Structure 1
């Protein structure tokens, strides 16, 4: 189980929508509580939608932490979400760990743009699956390696990653070495950059 933040257990308000029950189930596995009915004060509102623009429709004056879980995340929708102060999580990336990390970011916003979103905006969208410009196919990563890589891309240190994934720091270090070897990266930053290039984060 993923432990709650030091500020106290996070509370989520997940309005009814297709996929909302899956979010609630993953939230429970992550140690997060979901409210019934109306949102409580300080609760993170989690909107499940096809895309960020749809999720933001009808919420121009939303107050409080906002997390969007979307099937697709386009550049325009991501820009609108960032301007609205919302955190965006792709449905395909949804796990108890990534949900807990996204909720934490929504509860404690940072003035800078997180690395995955920044790279997405600068690149104009993630690259398509398949070979990159050099003709090399994207390296295959395990689910654990992908989880660690995504948390690295969000700026988490080894201790934080170990806590989020409920494992030891030694395990995290080993997984990072494996990721760097598979991506032929010189360091953590290089690994994240190559992962972005291959569309792995």
Structure 2
């Protein structure tokens, strides 16, 4: 998949002839190379944070780029300069396999720190996967106005971590669940399943397939598959039927 990067129009450094007074244009002893070109913006201006924006959707990318372009604190980079940016900003709907691959590639670039602007995390596992891939800060796309984007970028450049409080709680809950299952994979309680997981397993027990569960719960088919896969993996079961039987025997649904 091609991940578009920030596109920055070239700035002309040509000095209009009108900037040199007619009376001195022919007699000036100043060589042309020393005429100041104030219209050219030097790259890497001191005090500015260099940023590259990555997004699979050109509309998402343009929106974030336009927000950041207006801020004097930001120096947008693309092309050959992309890997040298201080901050890499990844903008996605969800952290799918392709997004994870990009995050992992950026993690191995010691010159950049990575921030994530995301639509939603479909599970605690997706959030942990993003953190494990080197994401230093997270911002929800719905909250990504110009001021929040700027604060996110500056925090990342300063070596800080940013994670909304509810996502931090979700991450801690997920990690705690993994720790419990590691210590005793079969120590099941009512808190083992979330309300969404329990509902989907109940629907599976009623004979509904993925598409029918998606329609009934108003989730996408991908979300249904991911939720059920996470339950099966976490409880170390073989398939959906095994998961339903296990949940019924332990009073989880």
TM-score, with length taken from structure 2: 0.40
TM-score, with length taken from structure 1: 0.49
Give the helix-richer structure, 1 or 2: 2
Structure with larger RCO (C-alpha < 8 A, sep 6+): 1
Task: From the CA coordinates, give the structure whose radius of gyration is larger.
Answer: 2
